[in-house]
Amino acid sequence: MSDQAQGPSVEVPDAPDPAPPGYPPAGYAPAQYAAAPTPPPRTETFAATSLVLGILGLALPCFWLFPAPQVIAVILGHIALAQTRTFGTRGRGMATTGLVLGYLGIAFALGCLAALLVGALTAAPAPA
């Protein structure tokens, strides 16, 4: 038998050597990496604090005559609204709710003080 009966042998000229492990094969483009996702904007701390103080001011009877938490809730609520508008942070709903609860708490405290004052002024004098 001759060599031609077995078929022609095919040689690949200048074939690149296989790439070492851990590297892409020769001739391929390097891998493209996706950009990291951006984190969501942070929530305003003043907004959360305003909401908590607004709730405490209405829920706890000890603050119905001394409305310090309600006043602080209103101040922090206005600051938080300005910061959410300026910096694009989250918490606008919490700030608005803290403002509403703070103003309601102040109105309720003033109403309690007025009721105590009217009650004290119109009380019948004690019999002698």
Digit-coded pLDDT (tens) for 36-70: 888 888 999 999 999 999 999 999 988 888 899 99
Res 1 pLDDT > 80: no
Burial of 53 (0-12, 13-18, 19+ CB in 10 A): buried
Q: List C-alpha distances in Å: 59 to 46, 55, 63, 105.
A: 20, 6, 8, 9
Give the integer Cα–Cα distance in Å for 50 and 80.
8
How far is CA 104 from each of CA 6, 54, 60, 115, rounded to the nearest angstrom? Answer: 99, 9, 14, 16
The Cβ of residue 45 has, within 10 Å, a number of other Cβ atoms equal to: 13
Residue 63: alpha-carbon gap to chain centroid: 28
- For the cut 80, the answer to whether the pLDDT of residue 121 exceeds it is yes
Domain boundaries, the chain: 45-121
Mean confidence (pLDDT) of the chain: 85
**Model pTM score:** 0.67
Taking the mean position of all CA atoms in its chain, how far away is CA 95? 12
Question: Is residue 25 left, alpha or beta, with left meaning phi > 0 and alpha meaning psi from -120 to 50?
Answer: beta
